[in-house]
Amino acid sequence: MTTIIDGNAIADQIRDDVSDCTDRLASDGVTPGLATVLMSDDGASETYVSMKQQACAEIGIEGYHHEIDADEPAEELYDRIEELNEDPAVHGILVQMPVPDHVDKRTVLESIDPMKDVDGFHPENVGRLVAGNARYKPCTPHGVQKILAATGVETEGKDAVVVGRSDIVGKPMANLLIQYGEGGNATTTICHSRTRNLAERTRSADIVIAAAGVPQMIDGSMLSDGTVVIDVGINRVDADNEKGYELVGDVDFESAAEKASAITPVPGGVGPLTIAMLMYNTVKAASLQSGVAVDLP
Ligand code: GUN
């Protein structure tokens, strides 16, 4: 029997718990505020940001959305970040990635106040994560940890293979898996585009986390029976339908599900958790900045 993991149900539970925390903050006169900044014409990025804003509205977080034309000078974005750093109503700042080529990504990440960096991408927050003292765990890897816990998957002593070495998912995911404590203690391998014999690595894994951004690159032939498969990929591929595209993961779901003991679908797997953990980090940011303690799950 293969468990098809219901990411929406797991995310709903977390969102309920985070919502209780926003109530707690509200009783002390604190409304968490999240600023999203979009500097892109990419349809998928627009969709992700609007989903993040909608989630804010649903759980009592004040959303502030900023759009900057993709062909504006980079300074427009750097200046906007400075304004948001200074705005006391804004506890969290998220600049949707990727930014246009003429914008320096590192300048963006380094100019966000680390206390407001709810993505966890500022070097100070990356350093804290690596040191085992995370302030804001990056949303997608944190969400994967929550999925594993909610599905009853023990990570301690297991062989985990992370496919993909991005700053947003692959690297922080591996760092979380090797930490001491719950959701960690896994023997962790990071694979990437230059890895030789990828299938050998994935076949030897108890847990495979696919985060390479390559549609359906992991199929059933690359997995052993009983593997837990977490698919982080959300790829738009051409399709003969009204939208002209469909969403597929980095995993070939059908063949992988024949081998997996548990697997996340796309959509409805990891995606909802990314948003739930952003809400979590925003509430944590509001708590840290206001000094009002909350009991986050
Ligand atoms: N683009 C894709 N995923 C993310 C994310 O988690 N945060 C930001 N800021 N941009 C992204």
**Within this chain, do residues 124 and 225 fall inside the same structural domain, yes or no?**
no
The answer to whether residue 48 sits within a structural domain is: yes
Q: What is the CATH number for 201?
A: 3.40.50.720
Catalytic residue of the set 96, 145, 179, 216: 96
Q: Is residue 90 part of a domain?
A: yes
Distance CA 269, CA 263 (A): 8
Answer yes or no: do 39 and 112 share one domain.
yes
Number of separate domains in the chain: 2
Backbone φ, ψ for residue 247 (5° rounding):
-95, 130
Instruction: Name the residue of 53, 97, 136 whose CB sits within 8 Å of the most ligand 1 atoms, as the mutation to test its pocket.
Output: 97
Cα-based torsion angle of the residue sequence 71, 74, 79, 82 in order, rounded to the nearest 10 degrees: 120
Ligand 1 mean position, distance from CA 226 (Å): 31
Q: Answer yes or no: is 55 within a domain.
A: yes
- Structural domain includes residue 286: no
173 and 235 share a domain?
yes
Q: pLDDT tens-digit profile of 253-297?
A: 999 999 999 999 999 999 999 999 999 999 999 999 999 999 999
What does the pLDDT profile of the chain (297 residues) look like in tens digits?
999 999 999 999 999 999 999 999 999 999 999 999 999 999 999 999 999 999 999 999 999 999 999 999 999 999 999 999 999 999 999 999 999 999 999 999 999 999 999 999 999 999 999 999 999 999 999 999 999 999 999 999 999 999 999 999 999 999 999 999 999 999 999 999 999 999 999 999 999 999 999 999 999 999 999 999 999 999 999 999 999 999 999 999 999 999 999 999 999 999 999 999 999 999 999 999 999 999 999
Same domain, 199 and 108: no
Per-residue pLDDT at 68: 98
> pLDDT tens-digit profile of 184-209?
999 999 999 999 999 999 999 999 99
What is the predicted pLDDT for the residue at 180? 98
**245-248 and 235-238 strand pairing:** antiparallel
CA 143, CA 45: separation in Å to the nearest integer?
Answer: 19
Q: Is the CB of 169 under 6 A from ligand 1?
A: no
Catalytic residue check, 52: yes
Q: How do residues 116-133 score in pLDDT, each as one tens digit?
A: 999 999 999 999 999 999
Say if ligand 1 is within 6 A of residue 117 CB. no
Q: Are residues 164 and 243 located together in one domain of the fold?
A: yes
Domain boundary among 107, 131, 155: 131
> Of 242, 183, 234, 174, which is closest to residue 209 (Cα–Cα)?
174
Ligand 1 pocket: which of 168, 273, 277 to mutate (most atoms within 8 A of CB):
168
Q: How far is the CA of 26 from the centre of ligand 1 (A)?
A: 28
The residue from 94, 112, 131 where one domain ends is 131
Domain residues for 259? 139-270
The CATH number linked to 67 is: 3.40.50.10860
214 within 8 A of 233, measured Cβ to Cβ: yes
